[in-house]
Amino acid sequence: MTAVPKPRRFKVFHSEAARKEAIAGYMFLSPYLVVTAVFTIGVIVFAIYISFTDFNLFTAPKWNHFAHFKSLLTDKRFGRALINVLYYVIIVVTLQTSLALLLAVVLNAPIRFKQFYRTLFYAPSVTSAVVISFIFWWLYLKTGYLNYALSQIWGFFGAEWRAINWLNDPRGLFQLMIEGVSRGAVTIPSSQWYWRGPSITWMAIMAQNIFTTVPTFMIMFLAALQDISPTLYEAAAIDGANKRQQFFRVTVPMLRPVILLVVVLGTIGTWQIFDQVAILTAGGPLDTTLTPVYFIYQEALGLSGPPRMGLASSRAIVLAAIILLFTYVQKRWIEGGTEQY
């Protein structure tokens, strides 16, 4: 008579003590897990659901399949918002990363009052975005301190400065360059707004954002610079490398993982810009500072017409997909070869 083998029982935990320890750990994590499940995962799932419906906040959602996503091709305002923020991403991420690295290198050098300069440069990052926006609004007024300072500088050289309404000037960068070179003979028509480049108002907001984000990334670079072994620079100097060669052949390669982090964080933050636009321009003038997040905010709450929460959710999903695509491409491009560091 053959013995029947006992069925094997699958065990998650190898002992009773391990099971109790895991339960205790999850009990401590349960408040965070519940909040995440309800207010993050739950909200995302609900947003995906209503993106396929006509939901206006007041009546039950009505299923409309892919109508909101099909309308993307004809949604000129959202398309303009994407082009505006693309200019913003390219310019702001490039400048804030470069300036943050430059400041970190300077403050990592043996200079006097180094701690004072670090504190001074980092101060804008600990200030509220709303407060910073109102300060810049004050500076950017047509009768504000920026125009006053520029008029004094121009006056010193015997020229006259024409005051600019920084927060209400839709003229684009490329438009100004072409008109300046051609002395006004060539201009870009308003129907081809996408060739005019970022407006003066949009560049003013870019300057504010760079001013407030560079210090945070500077601290990241500064911490990474202090982890680079001095022996690498000594070996490079023995091989005849000058300071410039040491920077590009030693410093930059060793900072590639941090550069990736800074670029990805900067990209995500710039695609999601909202505060400065909502406070300073509300998307104007002529939609030259309209951004996807502010567009979604307007459509969801009905600030530019009836509330269209379903449409806003579909645009939010598209924006999330664009951000994921950009960060993936950046990761693949910058991360290559960082494993050796």
Residue 214 is predicted with a pLDDT of 92
Tell me how far apart the alpha carbons of residues 216 and 218 are, in angstroms, rounded to a whole number: 5
**Is residue 267 situated within a structural domain?**
yes
Query: With bands split at pLDDT 50, 70 and 90, how would you rate the model's confidence at 93?
Result: very high
Contact residues for 208 (Cβ-Cβ < 8 A; gap 6+):
132, 133, 136, 276
| Domain span including residue 48 | 19-68
Average pLDDT estimate for 114-121: 80
Q: How many CB atoms lie within 10 A of CB 231?
A: 8
Query: With bands split at pLDDT 50, 70 and 90, how would you rate the model's confidence at 4?
Result: low
Query: With bands split at pLDDT 50, 70 and 90, how would you rate the model's confidence at 7?
Result: low
**Is residue 5 situated within a structural domain?**
no
* CA geometry: angle 289, 290, 295, nearest 5 deg: 160
Q: Are residues 51 and 190 in the same domain?
A: no
Q: Are residues 53 and 176 in the same domain?
A: no
Tell me how far apart the alpha carbons of residues 112 and 134 are, in angstroms, rounded to a whole number: 33
Tell me how far apart the alpha carbons of residues 177 and 198 are, in angstroms, rounded to a whole number: 12
Query: With bands split at pLDDT 50, 70 and 90, how would you rate the model's confidence at 337?
Result: low
285 upstream amide cis, omega within 30 of 0: yes
Domain boundary among 28, 45, 68: 68
CA atoms within 13 A on the CB side of 231: 1
> CA gyration radius for the chain?
27
Q: Are residues 203 and 254 in the same domain?
A: yes
Tell me how far apart the alpha carbons of residues 106 and 114 are, in angstroms, rounded to a whole number: 9
- How far from the centroid of its chain's Cα atoms is residue 220's Cα? 16
Tell me how far apart the alpha carbons of residues 200 and 219 are, in angstroms, rounded to a whole number: 30
CA atoms within 13 A on the CB side of 276: 30
Tell me how far apart the alpha carbons of residues 54 and 72 are, in angstroms, rounded to a whole number: 15
Q: Are residues 64 and 191 in the same domain?
A: no
Q: Are residues 33 and 165 in the same domain?
A: no
Query: With bands split at pLDDT 50, 70 and 90, how would you rate the model's confidence at 82?
Result: very high
- How far from the centroid of its chain's Cα atoms is residue 229's Cα? 31
Pull the structure tokens for residue 163: 């005051």
Number of domain units in the chain: 2
Helix residue ranges, H only, 157-274: 173-181, 200-225, 230-238, 243-246, 252-254, 256-271
End-to-end CA distance of the chain: 64
Tell me how far apart the alpha carbons of residues 264 and 139 are, in angstroms, rounded to a whole number: 30
Domain boundary among 43, 68, 93: 68
Q: Are residues 62 and 89 in the same domain?
A: no
Q: Are residues 182 and 50 in the same domain?
A: no
Tell me how far apart the alpha carbons of residues 85 and 274 are, in angstroms, rounded to a whole number: 11
| Residue 289, pLDDT above cutoff 80 | yes
What pLDDT, in 10s, does the model give residues 18-68?
788 888 888 998 999 899 888 889 999 999 999 999 988 888 888 988 899
The strand pairing partners of 53, in sequence order, are 63
**Is residue 3 situated within a structural domain?**
no
**CA-to-CA separations, 300 to 67, 150, 317, in angstroms, rounded:** 16, 41, 13
Averaged pLDDT score across all residues of the chain = 87
Q: What is the 3-state secondary structure (H, E, C) of 282-340?
A: CCCCCCCCCCHHHHHHHHHHCCCCCCCHHHHHHHHHHHHHHHHHHHHHHHHHHHCCHHH
**Is residue 294 situated within a structural domain?**
yes
What pLDDT, in 10s, does the model give residues 195-231?
899 999 999 999 999 999 999 999 999 999 988 888 8
Tell me how far apart the alpha carbons of residues 17 and 217 are, in angstroms, rounded to a whole number: 45
CATH number, domain of 330, equals 1.10.3720.10
